[in-house]
Every structure is written in structure tokens, then in C-alpha cells.
Amino acid sequence: MRETDFVSGFARGLTVIEAFDETRPKLSIAEASKITGLDRATVRRSLLTLSELGYADYDGKFFALTPKILRLGHAYLSATPLPTIIQPYLDHLSDRAGQSASASVLDGTEIVYIARASQKRVMSINLTTGSRLPAYCASMGRVWLAALPEHEAREILSRSNLKANTPYTKTDPEDLIAEFRRVREQGYALIDQELELGLCSIAVPLENDRGRIVAALNIGAPAAHVAAADMVERYLPLLKETQAALRVVLR
């Protein structure tokens, strides 16, 4: 790609949108400039552009994103057949298991939820489509990383912030690589309270008809309700069934 095939004004604008998050729902020009590292004048023009187009509100002091911005993310969800295909299977799976079931894809060092059928809330955080979790300590993340060539998995780990969310969290890269090998062999990943205390989950890869991983499926359950050791026995057959059914549908 040539230098002039890149629209830096566009790239800068996208950076500005991503500057908003749960801790910063409203941003002044100076704040947004600090977060993005972009010049104040540049940030100001981007924010005024967003506001002019209805993607942001401006009260003269702070900018806040409007629901119109959801169109951008939704463009992916509705344009990608995967979430739509998976959803009914997930509903059925969640119903039979009596627990939440989700599907995700890998994006960099994180997994992104693309579909979810939730039962009673078990996690402290609110997971919905578009939510992200670090791959290294989530069951679906393990499945994704296990599906990659080892050097790619290592590369992703090296970019990850491997922190211990609980006393059970595996953070040593070599331990994790060994775990990926185990996941690859047994065909599923089991997480016992590594992400959050009291939460267990089990995941399997979802492959298309050419054997390529296209998503990960999981079931999460409160540790108080189902011991990690029982997860395999109780939920793996259901996951395997769903996996097999979807394999036929996907291409």
C-alpha cells in the first residue's frame, strides 16, 4: 500500500471514537487529546465532525457518543452471517444446560462476544455482544489460542497483559503454552475461576467444513453450583452436539 492510500484523518477519527469507554463516557477536547495523543485541534475537528453527523452530542463542554454510533458495530454483526447462524443453537444449548452459552471470535489478544444466550447472571461484569475478555484466561480464548500455530500463540501472549485476576489464574507463558497443547489434544478448554472467583467455564472450538476454526462456544456456570470437575461430564456432551450440528451448517 502506498503512503497516499491511507486517509490519516479517518484513522485519527476512529482513534477518537475508541477514546470513549466505561470510565470516560464524556470527554472534553483536552481529555480526548490526552488519551489519543493527537493534537487538540485535530481531536476537536474529529469530535465536531462526529457531532455534526449525529454520532456524538456536544453540550459546549463535553462530548458523548450517541446510539447512532452503534450502527458502525452493527454493520459487522448484521453483515457477518456467523452470529445469526449461531444464535438459535446457542439459545437451545443454553436452555438445555440451564446455564449461559456464548460464542466468540479472536481479535488480537482478546476474544469478542458475537452471540450470547444468557441465563441468570453469574459474572460481576455484564457480558453482551461486543464485550471483550483477555484470551489467555477465558475458556474460549484458550480454545482460540490452542488452535493457532504455537509461535502465533506465543506472539499473542507476549502482547498480552498477563495478570492474575484470581489466585487461580495461570500467568506463566510456558504453563499456558502447555495448557494450549492439552486443550488441543482433549478438544476442549476448562477454566476454573481463573477469570473471576466463583466462575467456571468450558469451551470447544467451532470449525467450518474445512476444519478451520471460525468461533469458540462455551458454557459458563457458578462454581458454587457446578464443580469444575463436573463441568466436563455435564456440559461437554451438549457442547459437542452443538459443535457437530453447526459444523454441518457452516462453510
Partner DNA sequence: TCGAGTTTGTGCGATATACGAACAAAAGTC
Partner DNA sequence: GACTTTTGTTCGTATATCGCACAAACTCGA
Contact residues for a second copy (CB under 8 A)? 1, 4-14, 17-22, 24-25, 44-46, 48-49, 52-55, 64-81, 83-84, 87-88, 91, 95, 105, 107-108, 112, 114-115, 117-118, 120-121, 126, 128-132
Angle, CA of 53, 57 and 61, to the nearest 5°: 125
Q: Is 3 in the site for DNA (CB under 7 A)?
A: yes
Q: Which of 15, 17, 35, 45 binds DNA (CB under 7 A)?
A: 45
Q: Is 91 in the site for DNA (CB under 7 A)?
A: no
How many whole angstroms separate alpha carbon 89 and alpha carbon 83? Answer: 10
131 binds, among DNA, a second copy, none (CB under 5 to 8 A by kind): a second copy
Q: Which of 14, 24, 26, 30 binds DNA (CB under 7 A)?
A: 30
Q: Output the smallest distance, CB 38 to a second copy, in A.
A: 12
Binding segment for DNA (CB under 7 A), chosen from 4-12, 140-148, 219-227, 236-244, is: 4-12
User: C-alpha cell of 247?
Assistant: 459444523
Is the Cα dihedral 203, 204, 208, 212 positive or negative? Answer: positive
Q: Is 57 in the site for DNA (CB under 7 A)?
A: no
3-state secondary structure of 204: strand
DSSP state of 68: G
Angle, CA of 127, 132 and 133, to the nearest 5°: 95
Q: Is 150 in the site for DNA (CB under 7 A)?
A: no
Q: Is 6 in the site for DNA (CB under 7 A)?
A: yes
Question: Which residues are CB-contacts of 146 (< 8 A; sequence separation ≥ 6)?
Answer: 153, 179, 180, 181, 183, 184, 189, 205
64 binds, among a second copy, DNA, none (CB under 5 to 8 A by kind): a second copy
